[in-house]
Amino acid sequence: MANTDITHSTRVRKIASAAWLLCVAVLTLEFAARIDDWVHFDAPLIGNYDFDQLFRVTDRGIRGVPNGRYLRWHLNADGLNGPEIRPNAGQTRVIVYGASEPFGIYEDVGKEFPRALESELNAQSTSVRYEVVNAGVPGMRVGSGINYLSELSDRLHPKVVVIYPTPTHYIGVTLPYCGRPPRTVMPAGSRVPELRVAGKFKDQMKRVLPVTAMTWLRKVSIAWQTRGEDLLTQIAPASLDAFEFDLRCAVTAARDSNLVPILVTHANRFGDSGGDQDAGWLTGWRQQYPEMREEGFIDLERRANAAIRKIATREKVLLVDAAVALGGRTEWFADHAHFNNEGAARMAALLAQPVLATATNARTQ
């Protein structure tokens, strides 16, 4: 009996020692991760440090934090991803309105397509200087940022707005966002402290694991999240109706602010068909919206782009069909729908002539 008690006590001590060593190891790695962020990115040592640090929820909706910084992203004094807005000096301003695609996720700093568009416009114009304002906010639905678009228009007096909507933001949405009051301010201190070392470990795994392994892990995660749920095979009609309503609302809001809108269809790396060779990327896309099966994403893109074309025709708005011109060209995408440097440059080149023509007409009216 005594020997049994000693054995049990020894086992408990060993488990406690192992747990203590594990805690020390994790805390050491966490401290090292925070020092690394502080040295390389001037990040605070205390508190959370992630992409969400760049944005805040206000009584007017989501806004960029003035001079917000996270890793390579440095917002300007207006909370926009790009250089400081220049004082009025006769330049023609253009707004690019959308979500993470214009904001810039994978491109090098200054290579996002709004920045590349500004370079294209100024290279092709001999008499007028252009300034392109990046009004992209990751996660912003085309209908939820209407007052944001109006605010920028009232303050900056642009001539043209390029509207680049993200259809997948309407998965699961049943009502339009246009006309709804913005979300209330998130209460202070509501975020749970997070281990920075966990994020660094996850990023490293993405770099070193083969695509097949990452795809398998994502499928396991999706299966766990959706266990027992009825999955969508295509977007619900009410969701697509909300998308169309909000897009028409954005066009109306632009015109009410004396802006000339240009609508752009949504491009993705799969084109209209997808394919087995892109199954890993499609699974990665689905991880953001696990409630919809993979085949539903390609169907959603087709139907949403058809809706954009229909609205452009009915509203007599100039259309740039990026889905046709850029879709399916895997070498221009860093993931399912976000551009790499070359893809952003291609988008800018596609937009340049329509924007120049529209801005010239707007100035003469």
365 residues of the chain, pLDDT tens digit each: 555 656 767 888 888 888 888 888 888 887 787 887 778 778 888 878 888 889 988 888 889 999 999 989 999 999 999 999 999 999 999 999 999 999 999 999 999 999 999 999 999 988 889 999 999 999 999 999 999 999 999 999 999 999 999 999 999 999 999 988 876 544 444 456 678 877 777 777 777 888 888 888 899 999 999 998 899 999 999 999 999 999 999 999 999 999 999 999 999 999 877 665 677 899 999 999 999 999 899 999 999 999 999 999 999 999 999 999 999 999 999 999 999 999 999 999 999 999 999 998 887 76
Q: Are residues 157 and 38 part of one domain? A: no
Burial level of 322, CB count in 10 A (0-12/13-18/19+)?
buried
At 243, which CATH number? 3.40.50.1110
Q: Are residues 141 and 42 part of one domain? A: no
Last residue of a domain, one of 46, 67, 83: 46
Whether 66 is in a domain gets the answer: no
Q: Are residues 3 and 138 part of one domain? A: no
Among all chains, which residue has been given the structure tokens 């007052």?
A: 147
State how many domains the chain has: 2
Q: Which of 293, 270, 276 is nearest to 212 (CA)?
A: 276
Whether 179 is in a domain gets the answer: yes
Distance in angstroms (rounded) separating the CA atoms of residues 30 and 237: 46
Q: Are residues 289 and 219 part of one domain? A: yes
Whether 324 is in a domain gets the answer: yes
Q: Give the gyration radius of the chain's Cα atoms.
A: 24
Instruction: Identify the three-state secondary structure at position 339.
Output: strand
Q: Are residues 101 and 39 part of one domain? A: no
> Where in the sequence is the domain holding 11, given as residue range(s)?
1-46
Whether 11 is in a domain gets the answer: yes
Whether 39 is in a domain gets the answer: yes
Helices 237-256 and 146-156 pack at an angle, to 10 degrees, of: 20
b/e for 239-253, b at 16 or more Cβ within 10 A?
bbbbbbbbbbbbbeb
pLDDT at 8: 66
Whether 311 is in a domain gets the answer: yes
Q: Are residues 102 and 26 part of one domain? A: no
Whether 78 is in a domain gets the answer: no
Distance in angstroms (rounded) separating the CA atoms of residues 114 and 361: 21
Local structure of residue 45 (DSSP, 8 states): S
Q: Are residues 126 and 1 part of one domain? A: no
User: 3-state DSSP: the chain helix, strand, coil percent, rounded to 5?
Assistant: 50, 10, 35
271: left (phi over 0), alpha (psi -120 to 50) or beta: left
Say which amino acid occupies 221.
S
pTM of the model: 0.89
Question: Would strands 160-164 and 69-70 be described as parallel, antiparallel, or unpaired?
Answer: unpaired
How many residues are there in the chain? 365
Q: Are residues 209 and 123 part of one domain? A: yes
Whether 156 is in a domain gets the answer: yes
